[in-house]
Amino acid sequence: MSDLNEFRQDLVSGDWVLFAAGRSKRTNATEKAVVAEEHQDARPCPFDDPRATGQEIISEYKKENGELWVTVIKNKYPAVASQVCMPIETNGPFSWTAANGFHEVVVTNDHQRIFPDFTLEETTIVLKSYRERYLDIAKNECGEYIQIFNNFGKNAGASIVHPHSQILSTPILPPVVARSINGSAEFYRKNKKKVHDTILEWEMKQEKRIIFENEFFIAFCPFTSKRPYEVRIFPKLSNARFETIDNQSMEGCAEALNFVLGKLKKVFDGRFNFNFFIHTSPVRESPDLPCSEFYHWHIEIIPHYSILAGFDFSTGIVVNVIDPDQAAEELRKI
């Protein structure tokens, strides 16, 4: 029997769940394996030389000096697998669809150094590789959304120590993104103003939660931070689509990302586990949800500080034990 690999929609909440049973075959895929991972720094590392370890290479990016810096490869244990477009079907009262899509890994060519250690050039190249892969994957007609994310550290879900990011496309709009898009649309309908412009104006007026600012980007601990030391990075110019940013603002984004992650690394001092991800518009603009009118792409950075528990899961009310005003002050000062 082949591994279960499909999206199923919850009948009550409407949330989609991705079943990717093949991924349980990865090393350190489950919590049981976390202890084993302590020793995983031992070589050979599958990402030190992706060509030599038989990875399927999609593209490579070099630095100005000719040194190879980024290799994009196909994920060996994809959560979604490229195939023909499939409709949403029913199984009893439930909706489901095949786990169609692309799952790629963006590997940086250094086993030790992680994002906050990268030079401006190095981070800019990573962001450019994200943009280029996004544009290429977006050509596929069945994809609804393309999620770019980075996990670092075992508590943040990274199963391979070597620093890498992932790009995963889905045939459905992910629930968190759908909520955020629908909420932005609703706010726009009511207020004739983009919700993220309202948030940015408030943060800029209050100033105290802002950590970094350059010509193009601004980074702050949101007033409604769900997680301790959560940081969001926004382009100052309202833009619904990450993939449309030009090279100059890409460099501004890299500067903001390096700065914020560098500060977080210092605050977390050696126990820095984090996820960051890009939230942008769905692949295609639809007449029902014209995201360019009301959405604003951004990066969210979530360091792992405390674990979610019964109250958080049962109510959806996440308990944050750190005042974002204090988090921002600490990040600015360190």
Residue ranges in contact with Zn ion by CB under 5 A: 45, 47-48, 111, 162
Report the nearest approach of Zn ion to the CB of residue 304 (Å): 22
Take residue 317 and report the two structure tokens written for it. 């009310």
Q: Which residue has the tokens 């949330």?
A: 15
Report the nearest approach of Zn ion to the CB of residue 45 (Å): 3
Q: With both helix axes pointing from N to C terminus, report the angle between 324-333 and 247-268 in degrees, rounded to the nearest 10.
A: 100
Nearer to Zn ion, 166 or 180 (CB): 166
Cα–Cα–Cα angle for 227, 212, 242, rounded to 5 degrees: 75
Report the nearest approach of Zn ion to the CB of residue 158 (Å): 12
Nearer to Zn ion, 107 or 168 (CB): 107
Q: Phi, psi at residue 210, to the nearest 5°?
A: -80, 135
Strands of the sheet with 5-9, listed across from one edge = 16-20, 5-9, 94-98, 89-91
The amino acid at residue 243 is E
Report the nearest approach of Zn ion to the CB of residue 105 (Å): 12
Nearer to Zn ion, 53 or 248 (CB): 53
Nearer to Zn ion, 108 or 249 (CB): 108
Nearer to Zn ion, 33 or 45 (CB): 45
Report the nearest approach of Zn ion to the CB of residue 55 (Å): 12
Report the nearest approach of Zn ion to the CB of residue 41 (Å): 9
Report the nearest approach of Zn ion to the CB of residue 44 (Å): 8
Nearer to Zn ion, 47 or 130 (CB): 47
Spatial CB neighbours of 220, under 8 Å, sequence gap ≥ 6? 203, 209, 210, 211, 231, 232, 328
Q: Are strands 68-74 and 89-91 parallel, antiparallel or unpaired?
A: unpaired
Distance CA 212, CA 220 (A): 7
Nearer to Zn ion, 25 or 111 (CB): 111
The amino acid at residue 120 is L
Cα dihedral 313, 319, 325, 331 in deg (nearest 10): -60
Strand partners, 301: 231, 276
**Helix boundaries (H) for the chain:** 34-37, 120-137, 175-191, 195-206, 247-268, 291-294, 310-315, 324-333
For Zn ion, the nearest residue by Cβ is 45
